[in-house]
Amino acid sequence: MTTSSVSEFGVYVHVPFCRHRCDYCAFATFTDRDHLMERYVSALRLEVARAVEAAMPTATSIFVGGGTPTRLAPDLLAAVIADIPRSSAAEVTVECNPDDITAESLEVYRAAGVNRLSFGVQSMVGHVLASLGRTHDPSNVERAVELARRAGFDSFNLDIIYGAHGESLDDWRTTVERVIALDPPHVSAYGLTVEAGTPLADRPEQYPDDDVQAEMYEVVDDLLVAAGLANYEVSNWARPGHECEHNRVYWKQGDYVGFGSAAHSHRSGRRWWNVRTPDRFCDLIESGQSAESSFEVLDHEQRRVEGLQLAIRMRDGVPAGSFSDHDLAVLDGLVVADGDRLVLTRRGRLMANEVSLRLA
């Protein structure tokens, strides 16, 4: 996507509704609140209007996530997006469940200014999807991508997950190869993680194996790079010009505002987040109150260290001198010099969290 000359500012919109909750999901999503959809959208639009009145910066990227944004009627989603002031070159992404996509909904999204889609694929193998608690048919991914192309979307992402219980290396290779066959401009591949409070957390026999996940990461990296998608962040690969601008705002510690229940925001070192449930969010906004639940303020040193921890995950890495000589020796084979920068090797990407703890 084209980068605007306007200072980067991201807007995130949270849609908390889901038809089915995946076994590994710890996000603020709800399967029993569909009756709130129209009320929730009205509250969202009111929250956006108040931010605009308070001189919110012009957005250079908008990301509508969830939950399942495509659970909303397309015109409701389009109305929220239309309320957000954005630059002419803004990247506008909507997360999509492949099962929900129709030619008509995509037409409404395009008319609203959406120019990027992110499809929740997770796997292209039926028994792996069942293990993850997912309900869509892999053939619907192919159908959705075809519809997106016909609608004129030339930038989209396919999200996949590795390490599900019962997923073999051959299963994973099948998923990656079927994804590559769709010629995506962007792929995100995440190792399955166990989050407290999820159904998966109660099934230790289904926890992912670290060594197997490491092998799977190497498989996806090999195949995507061979297909022309470069790794630009530990879990993200893209063709040139299709990197996710909105996520870059997060990774570069930029400013962003989140709208909706459980949405997070950041401005100049202050982070805050909204109340978790859509019911409470609607009550507060409708009564003229802020939906903010809590906040934290990072001091200069916290921001500096966190900035390095985010930067090390990206292709450009961190400045030379970000590690002590002793730690560089300890990290031999995980971090290498690239000009005046230090970047992760592929083995280093597998241990990015551990490496980041040694940043000085």
Complete domains list, the chain, with CATH: 9-250 (3.20.20.70), 301-356 (no CATH)
Strand partners, 265: 272
Mean pLDDT, the chain, integer: 94
Mean pLDDT of 127-133: 89
Question: What whole-number distance in Å separates Cα of residue 240 and Cα of residue 326?
Answer: 36
Q: Max CA-CA distance within the chain?
A: 59
Cβ-contact 294, 272 below 8 angstroms: yes
pLDDT in tens, 202-248: 788 888 899 999 999 999 999 999 999 999 999 999 999 999 999 99
Residue type, 128: V
Residue 64, Cβ neighbours under 10 Å: how many?
27
Percentage of residues in the chain having pLDDT higher than 70: 98
* pLDDT of 24 above 90: no
1: pLDDT confidence band, cut at 50, 70 and 90? Answer: very low
User: Would you give the distance in Å from CA 249 to the centre of its chain?
Assistant: 12
Q: For residue 94, give the H/E element and its range.
A: strand 86-96
Cα Rg of the chain (Å, integer): 20
Pairing of strands 341-344, 156-162: unpaired
In tens, the pLDDT along 33-85 reads: 999 999 999 999 999 999 999 999 999 999 999 999 999 999 999 999 999 99
Say what the pLDDT of residue 94 is: 98
Report if pTM > 0.85: yes
The secondary element (H helix, E strand) that includes residue 211 is helix 210-226
| Separation between Cα atoms, residue 294 and residue 87, nearest integer Å | 30
pLDDT digits (tens, 9 = 90+) for 170-195: 999 999 999 999 999 999 999 998 88
Question: CA 332, 249, 218 angle in degrees (round to 5)?
Answer: 40
User: 120, 52, 31, 46: which is closest to 79 by C-alpha?
Assistant: 46
Distance CA 17, CA 2 (A): 31
Alpha-carbon distance 79 to 63, whole Å? 14
Token pair for 353: 């969290």
Exposed, middle or buried: residue 37 (CB in 10 Å: 0-12, 13-18, 19+)?
middle
Residue that wins the pLDDT comparison between 199 and 346:
346
**Which residues share a beta bridge with 264?**
273
The structure tokens 């599900």 sit at 164
